Structure formats: structure tokens, C-alpha cells
């Protein structure tokens, strides 16, 4: 429990309010036309050139064909 301005708040309630405010910020920004999933997928696509696991998996699949 945290006490903020004399009000006791649980960590779960604080986490909920932080996530809620974060979702409102995303909704009010240029990202409002995109869902959270699309934002996450865009981040994954951005780091994909640095990943080598997909190439290794493809080589193993090609070995068994």
C-alpha cells in the first residue's frame, strides 16, 4: 500500500491507473488509428532484421524437404 496525499492506494490500483492513463495518451496521439497490437507488431518488424532465428528455422525446414 502506498499513501499519496493522505489516501491509501494499493499497487494494483496504481498500476491500473497508470495503464489507463497510458491508453488514453495513446488514444489521443497519432497512434489512435492503430491498435496496441499493431504498435507492438510494428516494433517487432523494426527489430526483425536483427534477428537470426527465422533464418535458422527456415534452413532446418529446408533440410527436411
Of 11 and 29, the structure prediction assigns the larger pLDDT to 11
pLDDT, tens digit, 9 for 90 and up, residues 31-48: 556 677 777 778 877 877
- What is the rounded CA–CA span in Å between residue 31 and residue 51? 26
Residues near 53 by Cβ (< 8 Å), separated by ≥ 6?
none
Q: What is the pLDDT of residue 24?
A: 77
Burial category of 1 from C-beta neighbours within 10 Å (exposed 0-12, middle 13-18, buried 19 and up)? exposed
Q: What is the pLDDT of residue 10?
A: 85
Separation of first and last alpha carbons in the chain? 58
Q: What is the pLDDT of residue 29?
A: 63
pTM: 0.40
Of 32 and 49, the structure prediction assigns the larger pLDDT to 49
Amino acid at each position: 500500500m502506498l499513501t499519496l496525499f493522505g489516501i491509501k492506494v494499493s499497487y494494483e490500483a496504481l498500476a491500473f491507473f497508470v495503464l489507463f492513463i497510458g491508453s488514453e495518451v495513446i488514444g489521443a496521439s497519432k497512434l489512435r488509428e492503430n491498435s496496441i497490437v499493431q504498435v507492438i507488431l510494428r516494433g517487432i518488424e523494426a527489430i526483425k532484421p536483427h534477428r537470426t532465428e527465422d533464418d535458422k528455422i527456415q534452413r532446418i525446414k529446408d533440410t527436411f524437404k
